[in-house]
Amino acid sequence: MYALIASGRLDDVRLVDCLSNETGDHEAIVVEIVVPLGQKKTVADIHTVEPVAVTFRPQTSVPTAYPLREDFPTNVPHVNVAPAGFPRSLCLSEQPPEDQLRSYTAAGFLSQVRWWLEKTAYGKLHGDEQPLDPIFHLSPVDVIASDQLNDADYVMGVRLSPHDEAPLVLVSLSEKEYVQAIGQDGLMTPLFVITDPVAHGQLNWLPLSLAELVKVYDEVGADILSTLKSAVKALVSKPQKAALLAQPTALVVKTEIKSPDGRSRIQKKAFVTGTSAGETGEALGVLAKEGGVWAALIQSQDVATDALKDIGIASADLHPHFSRNLAAAASGYDDADENTIVLAGAGAVGSHFAMNLARGGIGTWHIVDDDFLLPHNQARYALEPGNIGSAKCDALCLVIRRLYETADAAHPHLSRIDADNRPDALTSALHTASALIDATASVPAARHLAFDNDIAGSVSSIFLNPAGSDGVVLTESSDRSIKIDCVEMHYYWLISSDDKFANHLANAGQPLPVGGCRSPSVLVPETQVSLLSGLMAGRWLKNRGSEMASISVWQGADTFEGVSYTRVEVPGFTDVSVGDWTVKISDELVELANTLKNKVAPKETGGIIAGTWDRLRNVVYLVGIYDAPPDSVHSETGFERGSVGVFKTILELEQSTLGNLTYVGEWHSHPPGALSRPSSEDKTLLRWIGDILVDVEAPATMLIFGKDGCRIILKEDNEERQTLVN
């Protein structure tokens, strides 16, 4: 640095002196920095030439810059706090010194000092995007305390680690626990002080005594003395006053910091002293000791300033316990979310999914599962090992409750989501929840949720494919106009019609024998479960409140070389009653049929229909159609479907969807101007379809597209029913 300055290459830095202390462990270069100030009015008193001492230590470290002007402003941001009587250095970087060393240069450091002076002069050093500075910067001691301590009368400070530098955890005690702990190390008497709001800035120096603490808060317009007096005086009215007044004190000060632009932040700071609360009260002039007993003075005396100076304090950074608001803030979310969420399935995916959201302050959880935690589950469950043998719903609720330190955060339900005898509390939660997440990978569970019309919240299904390489999120529209069963059906159509999903549902996972032949556990590593669950939870948050139903699929987690992502919006489905059956027909199917119809007009065309049946609820799902095979015969008076490739198409449809979609019937068009009424040939075709499907115990289906719309015809047990959809 000296060589650079002495070379004269820097027009804005002038060498003044080089200094060393007597022991030689500190050296300094004193310079004058020329600050590029224009005609614009400054906010802080920064001069065009500022004397600065740049100090060096023998050990490898970045230098430190100290402004030398006696009247240099101290009420500006980004100045390091120091004890009274010691100079304050400039805070030039957010990085720790060891990180700064990698890119340190003498020219860069001097440029940084000049930049700091210029930006401070115009009040631009602290950017609008930066959080407000705390009153105090980091302290050597860390204290962890929950918000519940604000009401605590009895506190013990404990270190949960054998290391001396470990944080001190303030634990609130009941009166009974406190009495039992009297005489043990770590007991402290808490004093809580809430100050008036203060302007954004920092305390000018670091207090080392109670007298200095009172003074330093007074300098920023916060009177802590009167509140502190009242807090100490109140101790004499508490049941265990003798012990409380005999213990050292932990003073917790809460201050709101406000900036001119309207932003604010709350800082809590702890100050720990070895002086007893009684002696502190005596120094404050509110307590006196008579016959070995502390008592409150009827009329307060003057503060014993010298006694306050003798009460040494150590400042400590106060870390609140993890809470919903802290979770949201640490995750970068705007707000915490206490809305009720019902999760069905506390297994591998469900437990990870819930914890990903809970750690972001999301949800008051109702966990539904009728299974129990077994040893092999620990390979990929976000549940604690100590809960082996517990109900999975209880174990997951326990983790969430411990996370927030409140029992209200999660509620277990040992039940199936679709159980006939499910608890009333679960039914109530289902009908009032803002969202329902089905992580059971159970079609009956999803169907149950789809057909429960009392559910107001949107339903989502989350699951991994059989190999555990792909993750899937199916989400209803926010108004439930497109329900989860229809989303599921479109998902099957998607994976059957897009080549990139050719092996999506291939059962590549190997079973782990953990019980009977009907209770296999697929071999999927935690690396895949945690990766996909995180992606699925984040996507679910983005989907939440969307007016569109959607399908999200992540593929390739087993390669660990990159995960591909596909998101598809789900078309609407039209529900119509046809006899005893409800037909749910995809709007996309109807649109495609009309496109294929117009493509060959005035000739007729047609093909086969992909769909399935829910025989428990008498529902026919019509999700897709195929174009006419190449050997089909088209004319203006009729259509004869060919057979080339049809068997292969149906086989691939069933294999790719694990049988969830199959052949359900035929569709065809009528010529332009013709109605959709079935002809005699159509009725013959319908009987032929019925003969093909005679063993599936479901109605034969025909769709006819004419100028009046789409006609749905079902034939079952020689009875024919039809409905026109315009």
Q: What pLDDT score does 519 carry? A: 42
In this prediction, residue 203 has a pLDDT band, given cuts at 50, 70 and 90, of low
Who's near 305: CB < 8 A, 6+ residues apart? 211
Q: Which stretches within 269-319 are classed as H helix?
A: 277-284, 305-310
Helix or strand holding residue 255 (H, E): strand 248-258
* Distance, CA of 345 to CA of 321 (rounded, Å): 29
pLDDT tens-place string over residues 581-622: 999 999 999 999 999 999 999 999 999 999 999 999 999 999
pLDDT tens digit string along 143-180? 777 665 666 778 777 777 777 777 778 788 888 988 88
With residue 395 as reference, give the H or E element that holds it.
Answer: helix 392-404
For residue 187, what are its two tokens?
A: 């007991």
Token pair belonging to 520: 């296999």
Q: What is the mean pLDDT of the chain?
A: 88
User: How would you classify residue 407: left for phi > 0, otherwise alpha for psi between -120 and 50, otherwise beta?
Assistant: alpha
What does the alpha-carbon distance between residue 583 and residue 712 come to, in Å, rounded to a whole number?
8
Is residue 273 within 8 Å of 314, Cβ to Cβ? yes
pTM of the entire structure? 0.78
pLDDT tens for residues 252-289? 888 888 877 777 877 788 888 889 999 999 999 999 99
**Quick one: which H or E segment has residue 460?**
strand 458-464
The token duo for 476 is 């209803």
User: Which residue is listed with tokens 């914890």?
Assistant: 355
Residue with the two structure tokens 């005679």: 694
Confidence of residue 315 (pLDDT cuts 50, 70, 90): confident
Distance from C-alpha of 96 to C-alpha of 444, rounded to nearest angstrom = 56
Contacts of 418-422 with C-beta under 8 Å, sequence gap 24+, read 418/442, 418/444, 418/445, 418/447, 418/448, 418/449, 419/370
Q: Each residue of 502-544: pLDDT tens digit?
A: 989 886 555 444 443 344 456 789 999 999 999 999 999 999 9
Give the distance, in angstroms, between the CA of residue 689 and the centroid of all CA atoms in the same chain.
52
Question: Per mean pLDDT, which range of 216-225, 467-476, 573-582, 696-705 is the poorest?
Answer: 216-225
**Cβ-based neighbours of 513, under 8 Å, separated by 6 or more:** 520
Buried b (16+ CB within 10 A) or exposed e, 313-337: bebbbbbebbbbebbbeeeeeeebb
CA 91/CA 95 separation, integer angstroms = 10
646, two tokens: 């049809």
Residue 448 identity: H
The CA–CA distances, whole Å, from 698 to 168, 614, 665 equal 69, 9, 11
